[in-house]
Amino acid sequence: MARGAELFVVCKNCQSEVSPYVTECPYCGHRVRKRAPKIERGGGRRGAGPKLGRRSGQKMPRLSRLRRDEIPGLRADPTMRPWATIILVAASFGVYLAAAANLFDPFRLILQGINEPSWRIFTAPFVHYSGGTSIFAGGAYGFATMLAVGAFGWLLERRHGAWVPVVVYLVAGAGGFLVAALVDPHTPAAGANGLALGLLCCWAVPDLLAWRRGEDWEGDLLGTAVMAAVLLALPLGVDLASPYAGLAGGLAGLAVGYPLARLSER
């Protein structure tokens, strides 16, 4: 049984503080110890484990402290699959494959002007098509954006939960196309460059704040900056990639990530 100050143990692989009553780290899956310690019951005997509930008067195991960037009351479960991110990526590739098989016309889903149906701002992020002949033509546009959506969406779900990628999709993905329709109402636009930049910027906010304060940060800001530069440059080679949607999506991601970072520091 853990005694004294052993209220948690540190995983040697990811340096997370975990409960001393587990054998594997719930954050990275690394084995912490071969077998969990036995827990003493009220009568002094050693049993298989603690009873659930409080009527017996038995002390329950202490939970580990919050990890970095976790918000009290909104703790994410890193062991669960990132369903929100999976749905976003699967929807994009599903639309691309269906359009390639000539099952429907993808231009019915893209944003073609301010006078078009308003629901197209929600479908345009899932349509990836390029009419040009650049290296970004065709599926390469979707691959570049979905790579960022999958990576940073998954990281955000591990940190905060599935609700954050959904919010970023609404304010950065759909909101970015709303801005594009208002600024440039006569140019068709589609693709997830705004959504990808929103997720990237939302995830990078805690590291940017730590960098500004001169503290250590966990992420790779240099690699993140390179990926952001690629996403910002997509409109140079892809006709339907709107620079306004990309810039608006990045700013929306910062607007979502800043309060989350501040709440996590409390």
pLDDT(44) > 60:
no
Q: Is 76 contained in some domain?
A: no
What is the tens place of the pLDDT at every residue in 199-238? 999 999 999 998 888 888 778 889 999 999 999 999 988 8
150 shares its domain with 260: yes
56 shares its domain with 180: no
In the chain the first and final C-alpha atoms are separated, in Å, by 31
97 CB-near residues (< 8 Å, 6+ apart): none
Give the number of other CB atoms < 10 A from CB of residue 264: 19
196 shares its domain with 259: yes
CATH number, position 158: 1.20.1540.10
40 shares its domain with 139: no
Number of H helices, E strands in the chain: 8, 2
227 shares its domain with 137: yes
Q: Is 160 contained in some domain?
A: yes
112 shares its domain with 35: no
29 shares its domain with 124: no
Select from 31, 65, 99 the last residue of a domain: 65
What is the tens place of the pLDDT at every residue in 239-263? 889 999 999 999 999 999 999 988 8
Instruction: Let me know: does 161 contact 74? Beta carbons within 8 Å.
Output: yes
Q: Is 206 contained in some domain?
A: yes
What dihedral do alpha carbons 258, 255, 171, 162 form, nearest 10°?
0
59 shares its domain with 124: no
What is the residue range of 147's domain?
Answer: 83-265
Q: How many domains does the chain have?
A: 2
Instruction: Let me know: does 156 contact 165? Beta carbons within 8 Å.
Output: yes
Higher-confidence position of 141 and 115: 141
Express as a percent the part of the chain with pLDDT over 70: 73
95 shares its domain with 48: no
Task: Give the whole-angstrom CA distance, residue 97 versus residue 123.
Answer: 15
Can you give the pLDDT at residue 114?
A: 67
Length of the chain: 266
93 shares its domain with 43: no
Q: Is 225 contained in some domain?
A: yes
128 shares its domain with 235: yes
Question: What is the 8-class DSSP label of residue 107?
Answer: G
Q: Is 72 contained in some domain?
A: no
Task: Give the whole-angstrom CA distance, residue 48 versus residue 38.
Answer: 7
Residue in the structure block whose two tokens are 């590739």: 93
Question: What is the 8-class DSSP label of residue 173?
Answer: I
Q: pLDDT band at 52, cuts 50/70/90?
A: very low
13 shares its domain with 103: no
Q: Is 213 contained in some domain?
A: yes
What is the tens place of the pLDDT at every residue in 132-174? 444 345 578 888 899 999 999 999 999 899 999 999 999 999 9
